[in-house]
Every structure is written in C-alpha cells, then in structure tokens.
C-alpha cells in the first residue's frame, strides 16, 4: 500500500515537473516562519500544496514583494515588472551594480505576442527555437517594452540599448510567471559575490531584505545561463557575453537551423531546445571572446572582445 501511495505521489510530481524539495519546503516563508510545513500523504494533497504555495508567492509579488526562487540553473531574486516599487527594492537590496543590469523573464512567447510585430522575423524565430532553456538572449530595446507594463521599472532593466530576456526551463518558475506576469530578475546575492545554489544561501546573503524564499534545496546546476548578444542577429552576427551551462556550439546550431528555415522556407522545420542534451553536434566553433563573467539574472558589461567585429558570423 505504501509503495502504491509513493508511486502515486511521484507520478503527480512528475506531471508538473516539481522536485521533492519544492514539496517539502514549498510554503516555508522567511518572514512568517521557519517551521517545516505539513506534507499531505495523497497525490491530491500534494497537488493542492503545490498550487497553494505558488499562489501564495504570486500574491507576494503582485503586492510589491520580492522573492528568492529556484530556477533551471541557480537561485534568483525576482519582482513583478509592473511593480516599480518592488523592482527598485530588489535593485537596492542586493546592491546592484550600475553596469550589471537586471533581466526580464517571461513564461512563454505569448506574453510578447502583442508586440511581435516589433521584433524581426529572424529574431522571433530564434527566441522561439532557443526557449525554454538556460539561454538568455540580449535583444534590442524598443517599444515592445511598453507592452509589458513596466513603466518606471524599465530604468532598472537592461541598458538604454538592449535587454536580456529568458524563458526558464523550470515548471515552478514558469507557473509563477503565468500568475504574476513578466518578472524582473537578478542574482540572489549581493553584487560581486558567487551565485546562490541553495535556499539557505539566499537567506544568509539577503536575509530580511527579501520578502520570501521558495525553498527547493540544492540547485539543479551550479552554472548560470549562457548570455547571447542578439542585437546584430539580422546581419548574421551573434556574440557571447557569457558562456554558461549551454555551450556555444549548441547555440550556434540553433541559429543555423533558424537561418536555414528563413533561407529555404518553413517546410524545412525548426530546431528546438526541447529534448536536446549533450548528444548535439559540436562541430561549430565560435571565434568571439566572452565578456566579463556575471551571475544569473544580470547582463555582463560589454567588453572589447564582444564588439560586433568579433561576433560569430553565420
């Protein structure tokens, strides 16, 4: 009986892509209590706990709070992009450096659909093929930002020329964004310190500066996302501000497939990150340098190595 119950729980967890750590500490709010929550012993109870905990964190963000959350890489500090007060709080709570702008995360391209006409077809298709994944794409700043309701939050996100966007490959994170809307993201640690790879590190480094922490134990990865410069993609150039968990060769393979689609027509199909792991072809070589290392959720400052003439051209 116990084995069947455990199997049922694991099946329910798997359907949502939720880790066991999320269940054990999902409703562990820093500002409320440090006591471990009670875990229901039925599949329905587990699903209700998941839903209620994500809803609770969504309410915190909607009401102007900041949260530390797990992702497909390391922990990050987030705020709702339509709450300038929360974005400013996140910016100041971690002593955000002016040359390390905050990033923007969405749960799907549907959240950008109203502004699709403001993106070039090649860039849009590249975003569609690259996400969800640990790949942050730095794209030209433009009127599309206004469609997200950022208002005064916009000054803390990206640079005057560009903004880094990502759709994380993490069910908990994307469910949260579905409820809240696009979020502004920065690393869950003071500027200059190492990435946080456990919720205890978020507590230790940010303490009472954060309203809540979604506890999930150790991060699935200890490496941050790969940050790709797409501001010149329509001229055939991309660059790498940071090579993280996704290698250059994999990013270049995605771009090559998207470019082929535009050259030969949609019947050729499009490469997707979904289901792609280490078996991918690594024959491509990037010739550009890598910018200054940075932590997840921030965009490294542009270095001479990342100038357009040193970008990879396909």
Q: In the structure, what pLDDT confidence band is assigned to residue 21 with cuts at 50, 70 and 90?
A: very low
Q: In the structure, what pLDDT confidence band is assigned to residue 53 with cuts at 50, 70 and 90?
A: confident
Average pLDDT (195-204) is 92
Secondary structure (H, E, C), the chain: CHHHHHHHHHHHHHHHCCCHHHHHHCCCCCCCCCCCCCCCCCHHHHHHHHHHHHHHHHHHHHCCCCEEECCCCCCEEEEECCCHHHHHHHHHHCCCCCCCCEEEECCCHHHHHHHHHHCCHHHHHHHHHHCCCCEEEEEECCHHHHHHCCHHHHHHECCCCEEEEECCCCHHHHHHHHHHCCEEEEECCCCCCCCCCEHHHHHHHHHHHCCEECCCCECCCCCCCEEEECCCHHHCEEEEEECCCCCHHHHHHHHHHHHHHHHHCHHHCCCCCCCCCCCCCCCCCCCCCECCCCCCCECCCCCHHHCHHHCEEC
Q: In the structure, what pLDDT confidence band is assigned to residue 153 with cuts at 50, 70 and 90?
A: confident
Identify the structural domains of the chain with CATH numbers, from first to last: 2-313 (3.90.870.10)
Can you give the pLDDT at residue 191? 81
Can you give the pLDDT at residue 100? 76
Can you give the pLDDT at residue 95? 72
Q: In the structure, what pLDDT confidence band is assigned to residue 273 with cuts at 50, 70 and 90?
A: low
Can you give the pLDDT at residue 181? 97
Question: Cα(85)–Cα(159) distance, rounded to whole angstroms?
Answer: 19
pLDDT digits (tens, 9 = 90+) for 107-143: 999 999 999 999 999 999 999 999 999 999 999 999 9
- Which range is most confident: 106-110, 197-201, 205-209, 216-220? 106-110
Can you give the pLDDT at residue 215? 84
Neighbours of 272 (CB within 10 A): 15
Q: In the structure, what pLDDT confidence band is assigned to residue 160 with cuts at 50, 70 and 90?
A: very high
Q: In the structure, what pLDDT confidence band is assigned to residue 151 with cuts at 50, 70 and 90?
A: confident
Per the CB < 8 A criterion, the answer to whether 169 and 278 are in contact is: no
Per-residue pLDDT at 219 exceeds 70 = yes
Can you give the pLDDT at residue 34? 37
pLDDT digits (tens, 9 = 90+) for 65-88: 999 999 999 999 999 999 999 999
Average pLDDT (51-57) is 83
pLDDT digits (tens, 9 = 90+) for 172-191: 899 999 999 999 999 998 88
Can you give the pLDDT at residue 280? 34
Percent of the chain whose pLDDT exceeds 90: 51
Can you give the pLDDT at residue 98? 63
């Amino acid at each position: 009986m116990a084995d069947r119950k455990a199997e049922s729980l694991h099946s329910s967890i798997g359907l949502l892509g939720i880790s066991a750590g999320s269940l054990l500490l999902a409703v562990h709010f820093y500002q409320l209590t440090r006591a471990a929550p009670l875990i229901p012993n039925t599949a329905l109870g587990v699903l209700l706990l998941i839903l209620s905990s994500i809803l609770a964190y969504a309410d915190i963000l909607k009401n102007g709070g900041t949260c530390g959350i797990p992702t497909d890489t390391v922990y990050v500090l987030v705020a709702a992009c339509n709450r300038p007060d929360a974005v400013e709080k996140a910016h100041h709570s971690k002593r955000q450096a002016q040359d390390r702008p905050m990033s923007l995360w969405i749960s799907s391209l549907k959240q950008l659909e109203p502004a699709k006409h403001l993106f070039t077809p090649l860039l849009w298709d590249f975003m569609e093929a690259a996400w969800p994944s640990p790949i942050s794409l730095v794209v030209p700043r433009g009127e599309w930002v206004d469609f997200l309701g950022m208002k005064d939050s916009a000054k803390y996100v990206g640079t005057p020329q560009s903004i880094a966007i990502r759709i994380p490959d993490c069910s908990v994170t994307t469910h949260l964004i579905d409820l809240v809307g696009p979020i502004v993201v920065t690393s869950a640690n003071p500027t200059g310190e190492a990435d946080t790879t456990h919720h205890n590190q978020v507590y230790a480094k940010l303490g009472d500066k954060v309203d809540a922490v979604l506890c999930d134990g150790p991060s699935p990865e200890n490496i941050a996302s790969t940050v790709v410069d797409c501001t010149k993609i329509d001229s055939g150039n991309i660059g790498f501000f940071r090579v993280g968990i996704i290698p250059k060769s994999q990013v270049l393979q995605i771009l090559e497939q998207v470019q082929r689609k535009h050259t030969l027509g949609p019947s050729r199909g499009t490469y997707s990150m979904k289901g792609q792991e280490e078996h991918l072809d690594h024959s491509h070589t990037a010739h550009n340098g890598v910018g200054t290392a940075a932590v997840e959720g921030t965009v490294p400052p542009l270095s001479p190595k990342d100038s357009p003439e040193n970008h990879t051209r396909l």
